[in-house]
A and B are shown apart, each in its own frame.
Chain A
Amino acid sequence: MEYQSASGIERRLIYDRSDVPDSWWDLLRSGAGEAPFIRGAYPEMYRSKPWRIFQLSGFGSPEDMNARLKFLLKAGETGIIVKHDRMTDDHLYDVDHPEVAERREDVGLTGTVTVGLRDYQTIMDGIPIESVYAKPGGGVPQSAPYTQSSYWSVALSRGLKLSQIAGTGQSDFFLTYLGCPCKEQIPPDAALRFNLDIIEFCNEHMPKWVPVSIAGYNGADSGLNAPQELAAVLSTAVEYLDGIQARGRLTPADFAHQIGGVNFRVSMDFFEEIAKLRVARKMWHDLLLNRYGISDPKASRMRIHVVTAGSAMTYQEPLNNIVRGTVMALASALGGTQSLGVSGYDEALSIPSDHAHLMSIRIQQVLQEETGLTSVVDPLGGSFYIESLCNDLEKRAWEVFDEIQGQGGFVATVQNGWLRGRASDEQTAQAKRFEENDLKLVGVNAHLVDDPIMHVDGFEGRSGDVTWAQAMERLTALRRERHTTATLTALRELEGVCRGGGNIVPAVMGAVQADASIGEIGQVFRDAFGVWNVSENEFGV
């Protein structure tokens, strides 16, 4: 039997001081909250601020979404995430688009369905925007301006100022072009423009907003191993840093802190994942210092959001996933995450039921309040094994980083298929291990019982037919009741900004506030930028 980590680092029987170079021990003289932040982003870590309990959530109508958010907040969630229907939101299709209408039963299954700004008013009804931390949607770059503008517009309509609103965007390349590519997405270069526009807009108006959050999760759950995930996340950041710098209005020192809120996946390789989070902070610090000359701790302190691996959740004996979720949550905390979402135990069956959602919150609350975990900073710091892993991971990750930069950077490796190839190779290798029974999954290919007794059925949400029909009614009403001239004027202005120059965010906000529908905004983008060609051959076949 071979002993190695998920990314292939040899595991020795036992580690000692000599397994960690002196240069690494020297780095550990710096405490938490001090460069290079290996031991934590903040001096007191969870004593002064426990990690944020931040669960992905969304299904059905805007009313369903609103009810689920209130349920999660009541249960103790400390931030809210609005997940939108992938068919309508990620594609920017109206519900009467043929791609949607022919699959109408799916509407509202992957998130809540909105037709325009007024649905966002419903989603946020009774939820205090001034005090809540929110991720209002926008997983893919083309939907990010729409969803965020909608959320911000609701806040403005309540008399809040943009500068008061706290939360995060996403606009993630991994989701869009690697892990979960859908139809008719704007091409990566246009997506990069969108993200740079959002960063510049937030730099000027929204000090409490994380404009984009690079989501290593979607790279890792598509196959990328730990060094690849680290390298790809940092390479995405380089695109933003260099791209904004090239525009000439801001220097990296002005905005680097805005993109230092990133996301990683934590899966079941307990120690490697802990090491990954610790070394991520060091690499971010080193990148800013060595490449951009930035040493301001406000910028070089990476803040991490973790989502536990959905791919680790099994269809068989789903209650075992509560244990897996707990293990991954523990690793995330030991790695020093700032916020955490634990995948539902029914992840392999469906979107989370209210019960599964509650369990994901309870796992985190039990860890925070019943174990003493939060009272000591970086409790594994100095472990020979952990520090050795950090040192190894860092070396491997910089090698991958150089390989990406050598091809022209992150977007180039998305466009030339290299990143997809790496993910596919890792997926195939993992599948082979499962196939050969080398990868053990309890209750799936190990320790099976004759009569499975864990009966869990997936959450089906509201009937898609009903959700779709209701959305059709709202869309009809929107088109009937709005000031059409104002809507068309706003859409023309948006088109002008898309084709010409200028920041896209105010133009999208103008269209949203003029009651443009999601599909109308999408059509402007498709006409102006064209769409990325999702060649089926890029999916590893």
Chain B
Amino acid sequence: MSNLYEFRAKVLIAKTSLDGHWRGVSLVARALRDGGFEVILGGMLRPSQIAQVARDEDVDLVGLNVGGRIEVVYRIIDELKVVGLGGVPVFCGGTVPPGAATKLRDLGVDVYPPGTTLAAIAEAAHRLTSGN
């Protein structure tokens, strides 16, 4: 649990694709904000822009709504490495089919598909930013 003296972790939330589905993004962003995080909304930034904002804002976690293919997630991870943020954890939600989710998990990227509770997502964000 957070208290006044505790560090408030920063999370960048962005969409990987231009599919336009916002319902999950806004719910998750709000849940994280209510869960004590500072939430930066990256909207529909391109992969290279996501990495730049993550660096400029010095974020502790990147949350990606995937409405497209996971190759774009790979590209974002590569872009994060380019700007020196290879160690920043990334987690994903959205329409990630099970096979694609397995590939992402193999890379160390947590995937929270539709049907995950917001509480579980907030808990994961706490875990990923506390280094446990």
| B22 in contact with A539 (CB, 8 Å) | yes
Number of interface residues of A (CB under 8 A): 51
Given A109-B69, A183-B44, A428-B27, A348:B18 Cβ within 8 A:
no
| B69 in contact with A106 (CB, 8 Å) | yes
Is B131 at the interface (CB under 8 A from chain A)?
no
Residues of B within 8 A of A90 (CB): 18, 20
Residues of B within 8 A of A431 (CB): 27, 118
In Å, the complex CA distance between A105 and B16 comes to 11
Distance of A6 from chain B, by nearest CB (Å): 16
In Å, the complex CA distance between A183 and B25 comes to 16
| B27 in contact with A103 (CB, 8 Å) | no
Distance of B77 from chain A, by nearest CB (Å): 13
Identify which of residues 97-111 in chain B touch chain A, using a CB-to-CB cut-off of 8 Å: 97-100
Interface string of B31-55 (1 = CB under 8 A from A): 0010000010101101110000000
| A103 in contact with B17 (CB, 8 Å) | yes
| B99 in contact with A441 (CB, 8 Å) | no
Given A182-B20, A431-B27, 5 new contacts (CB under 8 A): A90-B20, A106-B69, A350-B95, A431-B118, A541-B39
Is B124 at the interface (CB under 8 A from chain A)?
no
Which residue in A109, A222, A311, A541 is a CB contact (below 8 Å) of B29? A541
| A424 in contact with B26 (CB, 8 Å) | yes
Is B30 at the interface (CB under 8 A from chain A)?
yes
Is B56 at the interface (CB under 8 A from chain A)?
no
Is A301 at the interface (CB under 8 A from chain B)?
no
Is A86 at the interface (CB under 8 A from chain B)?
yes
Residues of B within 8 A of A539 (CB): 22, 25-26, 29, 41
Identify which of residues 43-90 in chain B touch chain A, using a CB-to-CB cut-off of 8 Å: 43-44, 46-48, 67-69, 71-72, 75
Is A315 at the interface (CB under 8 A from chain B)?
yes
Is B23 at the interface (CB under 8 A from chain A)?
yes
In the complex formed, the residue of A with least CB distance to B113 is A315
Interface string of A157-184 (1 = CB under 8 A from B): 0000000000000000001000111110
Q: List 8 A-B contacts (CB under 8 A).
A: A98-B46, A102-B46, A105-B68, A106-B72, A110-B17, A316-B115, A348-B95, A431-B27
In Å, the complex CA distance between A181 and B21 comes to 7
In Å, the complex CA distance between A460 and B101 comes to 13
Distance of A318 from chain B, by nearest CB (Å): 10
Residues of B within 8 A of A417 (CB): none
Is A223 at the interface (CB under 8 A from chain B)?
yes
Interface residues of A (CB under 8 A from B): 86-87, 90-91, 98-99, 102-103, 105-106, 109-110, 175, 179-183, 221-223, 311, 314-316, 348-350, 424, 427-428, 431, 434-435, 441, 444-445, 455-460, 464-465, 534, 536-537, 539-541
| B98 in contact with A86 (CB, 8 Å) | no
Interface residues of B (CB under 8 A from A): 16-23, 25-27, 29-30, 33, 39, 41, 43-44, 46-48, 67-69, 71-72, 75, 95, 97-100, 113-115, 117-119
Distance of A166 from chain B, by nearest CB (Å): 29
Which residue in A99, A105, A223, A460 is a CB contact (below 8 Å) of B18? A99
| A105 in contact with B69 (CB, 8 Å) | yes
In Å, the complex CA distance between A445 and B75 comes to 34
In Å, the complex CA distance between A323 and B18 comes to 31
Distance of A348 from chain B, by nearest CB (Å): 5
In the complex formed, the residue of B with least CB distance to A452 is B98
Which residue in B21, B41, B44, B71 is a CB contact (below 8 Å) of A464? B71
B18, B98, B99, B119 — most chain A CB neighbours (10 Å): B18
In the complex formed, the residue of A with least CB distance to B32 is A541
In the complex formed, the residue of B with least CB distance to A101 is B46
Which residue in A444, A455, A534 is a CB contact (below 8 Å) of B115? A444
| A103 in contact with B18 (CB, 8 Å) | yes
In the complex formed, the residue of B with least CB distance to A110 is B19
Distance of B129 from chain A, by nearest CB (Å): 19
Residues of B within 8 A of A444 (CB): 115
In Å, the complex CA distance between A424 and B22 comes to 10
Given A180-B19, A181-B20, A103:B30 Cβ within 8 A:
no
| A458 in contact with B97 (CB, 8 Å) | yes
Residues of B within 8 A of A428 (CB): 27, 30
Given A427-B23, A541-B26, A183:B115 Cβ within 8 A:
no
Residues of A within 8 A of B43 (CB): 534, 536
In Å, the complex CA distance between A195 and B11 comes to 40
Residues of B within 8 A of A223 (CB): 23
B26, B43, B48, B95 — most chain A CB neighbours (10 Å): B26
Given A86-B20, A424-B26, A539-B26, A457:B99 Cβ within 8 A:
yes
Given A103-B47, A316-B115, A541-B39, A87:B95 Cβ within 8 A:
no
Distance of B36 from chain A, by nearest CB (Å): 15
In Å, the complex CA distance between A349 and B70 comes to 13
Residues of A within 8 A of B113 (CB): 315, 348
In the complex formed, the residue of B with least CB distance to A537 is B41
Residues of A within 8 A of B67 (CB): 110
| A541 in contact with B41 (CB, 8 Å) | yes
Residues of A within 8 A of B26 (CB): 424, 427, 539-541
Residues of A within 8 A of B18 (CB): 86-87, 90-91, 99, 103, 106, 182-183
B47, B48, B69 — most chain A CB neighbours (10 Å): B69
Q: Which 4 A-B pairs have the closest CB atoms?
A: A458-B97, A180-B20, A106-B68, A105-B71
Which residue in A91, A179, A348 is a CB contact (below 8 Å) of B114? A348
| A182 in contact with B44 (CB, 8 Å) | yes
In Å, the complex CA distance between A87 and B3 comes to 43
Residues of B within 8 A of A424 (CB): 26
| B68 in contact with A110 (CB, 8 Å) | yes
| B117 in contact with A434 (CB, 8 Å) | yes
Given A536-B41, A539-B22, A541-B39, A457:B97 Cβ within 8 A:
yes
Distance of B34 from chain A, by nearest CB (Å): 10
Residues of B within 8 A of A434 (CB): 117
| A314 in contact with B114 (CB, 8 Å) | yes
Residues of B within 8 A of A536 (CB): 41, 43
Distance of B94 from chain A, by nearest CB (Å): 10
In Å, the complex CA distance between A182 and B67 comes to 12
